[in-house]
Amino acid sequence: MSERHTHRTAAETNASLAAKLEAAGGSWLVWVPTFIFYALVQVIEARLADHNEHHGEHSDRMAAVYHLASSAAGPAGYRKLQKLSCDWRYRGTVPAGGDLTDAKRWAQDVAASIREPLPDPL
């Protein structure tokens, strides 16, 4: 199995988990941005696999997004989504009404910017 395929499969799994947790609602919502973020991480890694690159650190991945991005929305979206994921997980921030919509939009912005589609259902 190719690295690209492995990363795309992982992205699909994370996207599916995000959708299931969002549908479950309640206390599960705090994990949705994290699964969206990690679906995006795998999308980025799939794109990098085309260049025989792999980044294990978020800072290196962010640099790669800057390099690949066709617009400033890519790096900005990555940074915002990573922060939202961390805020919800580590600070126990209660989900705000538009957070999930923002998380999905930021993921879409990054994916479009690096020319690598997000998996459904994101």
Question: What's the pLDDT score for residue 59?
Answer: 87
Cβ atoms of 44 and 89 closer than 8 Å: no
Question: With bands split at pLDDT 50, 70 and 90, how would you rate the model's confidence at 1?
Answer: low
Ranges of each domain in the chain: 3-114
Half-sphere exposure of 54 (CA within 13 A, CB side): 5
Write down the pTM of the prediction. 0.92
Tell me the CATH architecture of domain 3-114.
Up-down Bundle (1.20)
41-45, 80-84, 92-96, 117-121: range with lowest mean pLDDT: 92-96
| CA distance readout (Å), 82 to 2, 4, 40, 51 | 27, 22, 10, 24
pLDDT tens-place string over residues 24-51: 988 888 899 999 999 999 999 999 998 8
In whole angstroms, give the CA distance from residue 74 to residue 91: 25
Determine if the peptide bond prior to 117 is cis (ω within 30°). no
